[in-house]
Structure 1
Amino acid sequence: MTPAAPVYRSRFATAIFDLLNPIPFGLFVGTLVFDITYAITGNVFWGKGAAWLVSTGLVFAIIPRVINLCHVWLPSRWPATRREKLDFWLNLLGMAAATVNAFVHSRDGYAMVPLNVVLSTMTVVLLGLGQCALAIGKAGIREMVRE
């Protein structure tokens, strides 16, 4: 019996996805740290910095999300797994929370405080769960290859 090898739709798209996908996550974690710091200190610098981080994270998330969208929903010889679809939906919800968070950061002064921390936390948790789902799926493929 031959072991199952990992199947990729496009090595180039997979490489671009794996290269760009961690960048928005790091920016959203930075947004969460800045939001918590702004809630504690009230220094406007942290609120403005968080607004820039969430906006930049949304810009950097465009290409990986388009690749993920094409990979999961376009017909192919290799259908997407349930973990990949779960990752897609978690990322979609995370991006929606980050988009609302970008609008919350446009508020003046300390008016953004309770909601910005909640939305930043939701974004980081949803994207983190999506990454965990993909990691578990990749670990499962590696186990099949070893057998």
Structure 2
Amino acid sequence: MNPKSTLSIAGHPIHPMLIPFPVAAFVGTLVVDIVYARSGDPAWAVATNWMLGAGLVMAALAAVAGLTDFLGDSRIRDLRAAWLHMIGNVVLVLIEAVNLWRRLAEGGDFIVPTGLVLSLIATALLLFNGWKGWEMVYRHRVGVSEDPANPTR
């Protein structure tokens, strides 16, 4: 049997349902940072704060679902990819939390170049973390139903 997702709805794992939101928000932060760096318009500096805040809230929800799955099946904890995925995501959230904190404290002056560099690092880390998440699903079959015709089994 494949390692099961502990937190699911009708056999569908919740963690993969949530992760597109922080990914989009964190990549969107990088895009908005680039727009701000090119335009200097302070409205874009405010937009990055909202993007980071939304990304962190959704990352927290995805983290709860992911941690529940991680702790719920020892076969998942036995996977090196699961540990790398989890540690990478913790580092990502810490980077983005510092990124938001410094932006709120220093305003738009922090964005170029430091905030922009942190957003670039975070986006690169998202690629690594996504690769490890892909590996868990497609190589180790974590959360994949044994019977595709009946996902509740």
- Deviation digits for residues 89-140 of structure 1 (CA, Å, limit 9, x no counterpart): 0000000000011012212343432111011111111122111112123222
Aligned to 1:137: 136
Relative distance call for 1:127 and 1:109 in structure 2 (3 A) is: closer
What TM-score results when the alignment is normalised by the length of structure 2?
0.80
1:8 to 4, 11, 33: 4
Aligned to 2:80: 82
Correspondence 1:1-147 to 2 at 5 A: 5-10=1-6, 12=8, 15-72=13-70, 74=71, 76-80=73-77, 81-106=79-104, 107-141=106-140
Relative distance call for 1:130 and 1:51 in structure 2 (3 A) is: same
Residues of 1 paired with 2:110 and 2:56: CA distance? Answer: 22
What TM-score results when the alignment is normalised by the length of structure 1?
0.83
Q: Give the gaps of 5 or more residues in structure 1.
A: none
Residues of 2 paired with 1:39 and 1:117: CA distance? Answer: 8
Residues of 2 paired with 1:109 and 1:9: CA distance? Answer: 41
- Deviation digits for residues 39-83 of structure 1 (CA, Å, limit 9, x no counterpart): 1111111111011100110011111112222333x3744342110
Tell me by how many angstroms 1:30 deviates: 0.5
Residues of 1 paired with 2:138 and 2:122: CA distance? Answer: 24
Tell me by how many angstroms 1:141 deviates: 3.4
What is the percent sequence identity of the aligned residues?
A: 28
Alignment check: 8 A CA contact 1:34 1:46 kept: yes
Relative distance call for 1:10 and 1:110 in structure 2 (3 A) is: same
Q: What number of residue pairs does the alignment pair up?
A: 138
